[in-house]
Structure 1
Amino acid sequence: MGLLWCVMSLYFYGILQSHASERCDDWGLDTMRQIQVYEDEPARIKCPLFEHFLKYNYSTAHSAGLTLIWYWTRQDRDLEEPINFRLPENRISKEKDVLWFRPTLLNDTGNYTCMLRNTTYCSKVAFPLEVVQKDNCFNSPMKLPVHKLYLEYGVQKISCPNIDGFFPSNIKPNITWYMGCRKIHNFNNVLPEGMNLSFIIAMVSNNGDYTCVVTYPENGRTFTLTRTQTVKVVGSPNDAMPPHIYSPDDHVVYEKEPGEELLIPCKVYFSYLKDSRNEIWWTIDGKKPEDTTIDVSVNESVILKVTEDETRTQLLSIKKVTAEDLKRNYVCHARNAKGEVDRAANVKQKAPRYTVELACGFGATVLLVVILIVIYHVYWLEMVLFYRAHFGTDETILGE
């Protein structure tokens, strides 16, 4: 058996070398199509050539005399080798344009190539396959798909993904749903319905990882498929609205003196909108800051809520503002799929303050009052006599 496999490998290598000079469309390694599968579970992988790179399907290519060949490169190896389709119980097999693993093993990890060729032409593409392990609570390095549900938006469902083609329609598999490590049974607002999981009223508390475990028979053997996805509850479309500007505010005035630093926040609230692009920007006299000659900087920050509503802030900063800068028009703009809004900041130059002059005048007045009070308390008798002597009535005349 080992000798036969060695001969097949040499034959395969000879085929590759003999056609090295023929025209071959090599699409390289498609890293965007990295496939992850669980260890000890079935996996079916379609050749990407017919999905993304060629205009015809497998049947058309086969009818035209083209042959589909599979080979792979083991993890941490550079040598391409044919896939062994003679393993016990046909653990790895090919059916048309699909490569089957029943089941996968950890050492199946590597780069797989499917090549469509005849004597004069070939086209091939490679893709990475990673076999990962999971624990009893379905935790693993697997990149999980995210399914978004709307907050309090009526009955919504998720489905057990990527199970088509594993068993015929007349087979009724056993399906069990889990939230995290807990089997879903008698949950308040979550109801398993076969391949679907219904959320009666989605709440933020429903956020989490949901797993469907599908068990089915095939040729006297029992296989298990595990599919985990993340549920994320987001804002309802009923609550969607155009952006709302918190700042600048009509009641806030930014008064500065030339030479001071001017800071104006453009703070905007965006409700969640599916596939909406949230934008926020400043204009100065109708131009974007980078298109002006002003020494200005703009820094943006984002605060994301649990339901993916967000508050964006762009802080406009001029380190040393000039009198001319204080006369300009600063406008905060925001836009999403529901509309566009803007608001101007109220910027003014501080009125001149005569602080020293007023302080000196007030101090002199207080000092004068104090001096007069002291003089009155010390010389009040002399002042009375002086008054009577010069301005008082002559009492001797009144006596006559």
Structure 2
Amino acid sequence: MLLLGLFFLFCNIKHTVLAEFDVSGFSNCLDGEPNYRYQVFAEENVFFQCNLPFHEPLQIYNKSFFNENKTQWFLQKPDRSIEEIDISKNFKISNIGRALWFSPVEMRHSGTYLCRTENMCMQIRIHVQPKENCTKYGPSSHYFTTDIKGSISCPSLNCQQGRNISNLRWYKTANFEDVQSPNRFSLAIINDIVHFNVIYTEDAGTYICDYLLYIDGKEWIVRATTEVDVGVQDTQSPPEILGPSNGTEIKAELGKPLNLTCRILFRFERYFNPLITWTLLYPNSKEERFGRGDLCTTHFEGNDCFFTITLNKVTMNDFKATFYCHAQNSVGNASTMVKLSRKERDFVFLVYVLCATVLLLLLLLAGSGMVYLNWIEIVLFYRNYLSNDETIGDDKEFDAFISYATHNSEFSEETRENYCKSYDEEQFATQMLPNVLENNYNYKLCILERDILPGGAYVEDIAKIIKRSRRAIFILSQRYITGPSLFELQAAITCSVEKEDPLKLILIKFSSFKEPESIPHVVKKALKTLPMVSWKGDVDGKFAQNTQFWNRVRYYMPVKKSKNNGKI
């Protein structure tokens, strides 16, 4: 309610201010004769400037900061009250600078208008005549092309035949300057007609002609306007099809979509209305026509137009059809014909793809094979330089427990040859293994006769000794399988299946052997399932330092930093 009351109070105050303004601001304008009397014809674009007769009629379109919104226009009603013209509600009336523009003027716009600036006000009377009263009303617009001659005449002049007219003058917006100014050498006014010796683009604009006419002893200014548009000359050539050229064969793949694009150049036309069509003629006289003409880009040569049709799925019937692109302008027409040819699949490309795929698979297989063959070396390389030492903090005393058959072990039908083999086996276990694993790779081995008891250990102590080791290495031979040392393998197998801290076993096949029937089941199963490293050299020969063999043994040993980075 408070806001509503303030609104009505504001309206009353505003009305009071306007009333005072009407009385004090327009009393001089309302009294006496109008400053100007204008006669115009309906349906024309005309304007009226707020200038007194003794002022120069210049800069009526001046829209600078100092002139903007400085001129107010009012309409006097029959009861002599005035009403400000609301430009926002009259879309055909605009206030530009110091001029009131009617676009176009209508019969209802006849009346008395008042204009007011900061230091003056004036009265203008406007009388609008119907254009039907003048059948000889001249053209109110002209189109000229550059570099030719042209002329314009005052449109309403033919309507005043038999009347005494005088003082005809021509003006041109934007500053309402006199047409025949000193800087317009190519223009001349002869017999009230404006002649252009050469048409320039700067000659385009709105031209105003004013002349005096006395009606019932009153001086009236008859005003008319003429719009001049300047452009290049319309083309005299038909459209030019830039592509595809006539008789072109377009490759198409059966069952695939296809786009057909026609590109046409239309030279300049003032009233540009192109026509572009695609016509499809099939052998069975079936015809399909598609047409558009609005896909164009304007540039200095004219209009570059494109029209594309799409075949969603190319059929065998399309290969028998003829496709015509037709273009037409106001001068003539042009057309081009294309046909489809079947595009075979690119078998060469497929062969290249297939060969590349096979080659890539072979490279992958070769790479996989190389990795498989050298997997142990790759793992050992990683251990030497990147992996952490897993022996730190596990409370183990030895890296590996060594189990082998001694040369004094019982063996039925022992021969000298078997004795020599037993000696080599013991030498391998007690000399070669420590020499390589301990001296070169920093491992600590547990050999019973060397590290525990010189005379050997009791059977019940073997399991405890094995649990103090991270690995258990068994030197397998016929003497070992049939001898008393087999119980050490059986004890280690038992330790390997424990849930807490299981033991990992390493089997080295020193010589070939045959499993007896009396061998325990767990041992027989272990011999079949556990990985086994075969020794193929001799203890004293050149194969004693077999790198591949020692790499496999190290692969199953715990990760531990070696002294010489893995070099034997």
TM-score in terms of structure 2 length: 0.36
Structure showing greater relative contact order (alpha-carbon pairs closer than 8 Å, 6 or more residues apart): 1
TM-score in terms of structure 1 length: 0.49
Larger radius of gyration: 2
